[in-house]
Structure 1
Amino acid sequence: MTPDLICKALADPTRARIALLITSEQELCVCELTCALDEIQPKISRHLALLREAELLADRRQGQWIYYRLHPDLPEWATQMLNNLATAHHEWLAENLQRLCDMQDRPNRCC
């Protein structure tokens, strides 16, 4: 993983928001991301696929849900960068985080 690959993967605002929301929340499923970002499922899934291909995200299945988290093999510098961005730009994600908190029928492992 090199800085140029990470920057390329995060260059799209939707992918950047997905990565920072997942960084903030630890793990999210597609339905949570569609709600938080107010986007359609195919668009979110396409962006998730690109983030997985870039090895920024990993997924796991639990019943009917597929959860996405930061890739466990992500270099420490990349994880630190994402954490710093999520913390420093919390206001950029505030509306998305609010939609997530207001989400009805959120999977059980969440707040």
Structure 2
Amino acid sequence: MEQNLQELLKAENEVNKRVSEALQRKNQRLKVIKEEAEKELHHHRVDKEADYQRALARLKQQIAEEGSADGNQEQRDMDNIQRDFQKNKEIVVDLLVKNVLSVNIEIPKVVKGTF
């Protein structure tokens, strides 16, 4: 009986040792997998950040180009308006003066009552 008990204890120790070794191997594999995943994640983040920065730079450049184009267009429009104003200013003033000075002072027939 003592011998059977010793064999059971020895078997139990052997099983515990194997389980412990299996857990160590499992933990080691998990550690390696985690490290590889972190490396891949880091590379992925770096790539995505680089893509984002390139897209941001492109967008900023596009906005700057559109802004300068809009600014140039606005300046051209203002120049055209100013040129048209200078060209038509005297014509409009003359027309207004002519209309003010040529007011018909006759009393309308409707007011007189003669139809």
TM range, smaller chain: under 0.3
Relative contact order, CA 8 A, sep 6+: which one is greater? 1
Q: TM-score, normalised on structure 2?
A: 0.18
Q: TM-score, normalised on structure 1?
A: 0.18
Kindly indicate which of the two structures has a greater share of residues assigned to strand.
1
Kindly indicate which of the two structures has a greater share of residues assigned to helix.
2
